[in-house]
Amino acid sequence: MDEKRKPLFSYFRKGGRMIKVLFTYDYGKEKMDSVRKLGYDLKYVHEKKIANRKDVEDIEILVCYDPFKKFDISKLENLKWIQLSSIGIDQVPLDYVKEKGIILTNNKGGYSIPMGEWIILKILEIYKDSKYFYNNQKEKKWKYNTNLLELYGKTVGFLGTGTISTEAAKRLKGFGVDILGLNTNGRDIKYFDKCYPISKIDNFLSICDIVVCAIPYTDKTHHLMNEKRLNQMKEGSVLINVSRGSIIDEKALIDVIKDGKFLGVALDVFEKEPLPESSPLWEFENVFITPHNSWISEMRNERRFNLIYENLKRYKDNKELLNVVNLEKGY
């Protein structure tokens, strides 16, 4: 490892002053005290109130989501490691992090279970036309719908075969579907019946009844689902996005929805968030919109803190950290 990229643990080794860690989220007294018991000098400032000031200028570790618009990390001369509470890293000033050799770790896997459940929920809502019944319930209408579909026998394709896709695929196994994955080189992944390399994306899209976007957002995956690829999907197919809004060209998506391509579309992420009230996406009956909410569950803080705590123990003990982001790949 390059010397400038090597984490410094000398404060613990020499028994000198404790390493300073800044949290921008309060995990509760018991959990925060457990970090202090590891030997850290813990400082908490809410992310909405964060600013460059004297009492945090010498931190070595930053545990956060996205303070970077208001918090200039270039002024933190001792900063060695950033632990994100998110899976995505596009909010981080990556050029500076690379230049300074700062370690970046994310929360990969921390939200995969609720997101996997959300994917199943939206597939079933679309196939079983939930909106029809919800709308009828509001008007106290007792009316059959004979246009419902079975999930059984369908082909579900995942763009990306990481932890989110894996948790969804695991849960889909009981539905009797064919589960396909798309990753960098087509390597086999548990719970997927077959995986394709990203170079075969056009063929992949044409055989899927349902396409789930769960691929990391990078320069290479920006607008991966452009007008051409959206049109390569099957007529009457389903499109779901839980990764980042800019995986899909939103303008092209709106045009393709207007053309009647999709049975349904479920979007939890958008190119601009919050989604503007002026967006046509709000108006389509076959589009399901949630406000970047698929990761939420009662277990989110528990899993998130468990990872943070484990990594803080590893840092103290000079051991390899979990979920270190490959800054060249962007995930």
Question: How far apart (Å, rounded) are the C-alpha atoms in residues 161 and 215?
Answer: 7
Q: How many alpha carbons lie under 13 Å from residue 255 in its C-beta half-sphere?
A: 11
Helices (H), the chain: 10-14, 29-37, 94-100, 112-127, 130-138, 163-172, 201-206, 227-232, 250-258, 300-316
Token couple for 183? 């990753």
Q: Where are the beta strands (DSSP E) in the chain?
A: 20-23, 41-44, 61-64, 81-84, 103-105, 155-159, 178-183, 194-197, 210-213, 237-241, 262-267, 287-289
Give the side-chain half-sphere CA count within 13 A for 328: 0
Q: How far apart are CA 189 and CA 293, in angstroms?
A: 27
What's the pLDDT score for residue 5? 40
Measured distance CA(279)–CA(4) in Å, rounded: 46
What whole-number distance in Å separates Cα of residue 60 and Cα of residue 20?
6
Tokens of 218: 């990078």
Where the chain has pLDDT below 50, the residues are: 1-14
How far CA 179 is from CA of 161, 162, 206, 244, in Å, comes to 11, 14, 14, 22
Question: Which pLDDT belongs to residue 2?
Answer: 42
What does the block give as tokens for 289? 């919109």
Per-residue confidence (pLDDT) for residue 7, from 0 to 100 = 43
Instruction: Give the predicted TM-score (pTM) of the model.
Output: 0.93
Domains of the chain, by residue range, sit at: 3-110+299-316, 112-289
pLDDT in tens, 17-44: 799 999 999 999 999 999 999 999 999 9
Cα 107 to Cα 38: distance, rounded to the nearest angstrom: 21
Q: Alpha-carbon distance 57 to 51, whole Å?
A: 10
CA nearest neighbour of 312 among 107, 48, 59, 36: 36
Give per-residue pLDDT as tens, 188-233. 999 999 999 999 999 999 999 999 999 999 999 999 999 999 999 9
| Distance (Å, whole) CA 249 – CA 246 | 6
Per-residue pLDDT at 9: 42
CATH T-level fold of 112-289: Rossmann fold (3.40.50)
Helix (H, G, I), strand (E, B) or coil at 204: helix
The SS3 assignment for 288 reads strand
The mean predicted confidence, pLDDT, of the chain is: 95
Superfamily of domain 3-110+299-316: NAD(P)-binding Rossmann-like Domain (3.40.50.720)
Q: According to the model, what pLDDT value does residue 16 have?
A: 59
Contact present, 245 and 273 (Cβ < 8 Å): yes
At which residue do the structure tokens 């109130």 appear?
Answer: 49
Do the domains at 3-110+299-316 and 112-289 have one common CATH topology? yes
